[in-house]
Amino acid sequence: MDSESDFLGGTVQRLFGLSYLFPYQRLVITNMLEAAEAAGISLRRSCDPGGSDESPLPSQEQVPWAESEVSGTAAGGETDRACLGRQIVILPTGAGKSLCFQLPAMILEGPTLVIYPILSLMADQERRLRERGFFPVTLRGGQSREERDLLWEQIRSGKSRFIIANPEVLLTSAVMEKLNGLGIVHAVIDEAHCVSEWGESFRPAYLRIGEIIAALYGNGPEPLITAFTATASAPVLEKIERYIFGSRGAHRIIGSPDRSNISYAAQGCILRDLAVRDLILKHKRPAIVFCSSRRGTEKLARRLRNDLGKTGAGEFSETEIRFYHAGLDREEKTGVERWFFGNPRGVLVSTCAYGMGVDKPDIRTVIHRDCPPSVEAYLQESGRAGRDGLPSRAILLWGSNDAGILARRGTGPDRQRMEQILSYARNTGRCRRETLLALLDYEGSGGSPGGDCCDVCSGTAGETLREEASLTDFFRRNRRIYTLKEAAAVLARTGTVGWTEDEARLAVLELIRNKRIRKMRNFLWKDKLTTAKSFEQ
């Protein structure tokens, strides 16, 4: 084992309590340190605990994510060491990306700036660093002048080696003026796919990352720059390079985006809240349910509390189902984060505000009530499941109302990205894992040991809405007996499907629109319902 391996192995063991680095972690970190030395940035060799770890690091075949194929290429064919100081690192969720910049931050002489997209991720990173005995500082909106002065002093004194922030706060005039004097040696952009997905829509600050980086060094030496993400298709990768690195190019470390311990499924439905309820009862917890709106999270959490509290099937209580979104105040968010992190049975209903980088390792089930905006977003959020490497499930719900959402996306890249994930949900002719990898331009294969890769591979995938079978059977047995209003009342009163009258009406109307159920026009049975001719036997 060479001296650099001894140094890194000993340092990660001392500071983080880990006995090894994965091969790609070592590659990313070594690139950073080589580039730092070439740029004249000092390294703190005192981090070495004074003795090397004599046991050899495990080989790539012996560690999780061993299937991750590491490749590095520099844009424009650039291969010199300077390019190693500019890296795009694409590694699967749960593969230890944070360590790739946390460990160098303890070695490099000078502070590291980490740019995050959402407050929950900033808070989670700060919490984990403090638990390890480090002293990060977090820049956020609403801080007083006194609070900011204390933060600047902690950075200048060397007490704080991590600066945590989002693009918006860094672009404020007061912060921009301070950046050049902080001696930042490494700028990290975590969840860098947000540059593409959010920067061109509702987070324009992401398109100005280059300005932030320029402000860090002014006329001095350029800091190391690393962009991390778990998923990036070719168009997203191009935008990361354009807005963060410009024409200078960047070294790429690309691992497989596959998460072999996650089993994927998709289900069509009309009544999504009820579909979520039934899936929660069926699958293991802890669980996250992703919704597209703040109001939707609160409404669904209340519904789940009410319905699941009555079932007696899972001993659910109000304390086991909570919601989370960006509209909560800081104290409320912290309370929910702590509750969920320590709860082995909890169900969290959330917007994407909880989606990226928050490290609860034992989440067993991730359900998307609403379709996410892209394949990248779906893999990021479904990747919250199974970060401990144990078997987990990711289930995406789809329905006819997705068409309305798609229509509002116009005709540009946003629409194309959503079309891809909607097509994935409805396609039952190809392995879901294989489809996801192909959409990210990754040359991989589907399937997983035990045949639990996805619902397509297991033969359980369905092309129809989940309510269709029970409703068509009901109207086949009760042809020309009920009007829409009468049928909704009967369906709700019998309790066989567990719907309210309004829900039954919505479900029947949807199947009428889909021409699975039809209204009679003959005056003898006017407005009475029956199955479509293709269903009648």
Element (H, E) at 308: helix 294-311
With 0-12 / 13-18 / 19 or more C-beta atoms within 10 angstroms meaning exposed / middle / buried, residue 435 is buried
Whether residues 313 and 206 share a domain: the answer is no
User: Any bridge partners for residue 322, and if so which?
Assistant: 348
Q: Which percentage of the chain shows pLDDT scores above 90?
A: 44
CA angle (489, 494, 498) in 5-degree steps: 90
Task: Specify the pLDDT at position 62.
Answer: 35
> Where does 175-270 show beta strands of DSSP type E?
186-189, 224-229, 251-254, 262-268
**Do 288 and 176 belong together in one domain?**
no
| Cβ neighbours, 10 Å, residue 203 | 16
Q: Same domain, yes or no, for 249 and 268?
A: no
* 479 and 450 assigned to the same domain: no
Name the nearest CA neighbour of 108 among 212, 204, 20, 184. 184
CATH, residue 314: 3.40.50.300
Last-in-domain residue among 458, 477, 504: 458
At 180, give phi and psi (nearest 5°).
-65, -25
Residue 11 falls inside a structural domain: no
**What's the pLDDT score for residue 74?**
40
Residue 394 and residue 300 share a domain: yes
Both 403 and 503 in one domain: the answer is: no
Residues 6-49 pLDDT 10s = 678 888 888 888 877 888 888 899 899 989 988 888 887 655 33
Note whether 129 and 278 are same-domain residues: no
Amino acid at 42: S
Eight-class DSSP state of 197: H
Say which residues have a Cβ less than 8 Å from residue 158's Cβ, sequence separation at least 6.
none
Distances (CA, A) of 529 to 16, 26, 271, 469, 534: 66, 66, 20, 16, 14
- Residues 96 and 124 occupy one common structural domain: yes
The residue range of the domain holding 294 is: 262-458
pLDDT in the model for residue 10: 84
Domain-embedded: residue 522: yes
Count of residues in the chain: 537
Q: Is residue 157 part of a domain?
A: yes
Domain presence at residue 13: no
Query: Count of domains in the chain?
Result: 3
Tell me if 44 is assigned to some domain.
Answer: no
SS3 letters for 18-79?
CCCCCHHHHHHHHHHHHHHHHCCCCECHHHCCCCCCCCCCCCHHHCCCCCCCCCCCEHHHCC
CA distance 322 to 382: 19
The mean pLDDT of the chain is 84
Is the bond leading into 286 cis (omega within 30 degrees of zero)? Answer: yes
Task: State pLDDT tens for residues 79-130.
Answer: 455 577 899 999 877 778 889 999 999 999 999 999 999 887 888 889 888 9
Strand ordering across the sheet containing 365-368: 262-268, 392-398, 365-368, 287-290, 347-350, 321-324
- In this prediction, residue 361 carries a pLDDT of 87
> Residues of the chain whose pLDDT is less than 50?
1-3, 48-79, 449-450
Last residue of some domain: 233, 254, 275? Answer: 254
106 and 237 in a single domain? The answer is yes
Helix axis angle, 413-426 relative to 375-382, nearest 10°?
60
Could you tell me if 199 and 119 lie in one domain? yes
The dihedral built from the CA positions of residue 313, 318, 320 and 322, taken in this order, carries a sign that is positive
CA distance 205 to 218: 19
Contacts of 416 (CB under 8 A, 6+ apart): none
**Token output for 49:** 């605990």
20 assigned to some structural domain: no
Q: 10 in a domain, yes or no?
A: no
Same domain, 268 and 416: yes
Q: Indicate whether 450 and 483 sit together in one domain.
A: no
- CA-derived radius of gyration, the chain: 26
CA distance 237 to 372: 19
pLDDT (tens digit, 9 = 90+) per residue, 149-200? 999 999 999 899 999 999 999 999 999 999 988 999 999 999 898 898 888 7
Q: Is residue 57 part of a domain?
A: no
pTM, two decimal places: 0.75
Out of 429, 458, 487, a domain closes at 458
Specify the pLDDT at position 280: 95
pLDDT of residue 442: 77
Question: Which DSSP string corresponds to 77-123?
Answer: G--SHHHHTEEEEE--TTS-TTHHHHHHHHHBSS-EEEE-SSHHHHH
